[in-house]
């Protein structure tokens, strides 16, 4: 299945982040990206995977915080 190629503006809109935050996440490796010419691009499928992973980690973190430790 082909994945749509997204611009940084589209990713920022999807994630509800600023463009500069998306650049920071991309350069740090937190967001998967690639260059097409001199433009930074993202695969929609990888952004969706990032969203799912982030949601899972947040839910797992909040579940672990609510567990009593003896």
Q: What is the CATH class of 5-65?
A: mainly alpha
Indicate yes or no: pTM above 0.85: no
What is the reported pLDDT for 38?
Answer: 94
* 11-44: pLDDT as tens digits: 999 999 999 999 999 999 999 999 999 999 999 9
Q: Where are the domains positioned within the chain?
A: 5-65
10 Å Cβ neighbour count for 17? 15
- Residue 57 pLDDT: 85
pLDDT at 59: 83
Determine the Cα–Cα distance for residues 15 and 26; give it in Å rounded to an integer.
13
């Amino acid at each position: 299945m082909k994945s749509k190629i997204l611009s940084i503006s589209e990713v920022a809109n999807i994630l509800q982040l600023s463009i500069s935050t998306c650049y920071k996440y991309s350069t740090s490796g937190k967001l998967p990206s690639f260059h097409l010419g001199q433009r930074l691009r993202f695969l929609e499928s990888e952004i969706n995977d990032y969203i799912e992973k982030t949601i899972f980690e947040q839910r797992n973190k909040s579940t672990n915080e609510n567990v009593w430790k003896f």
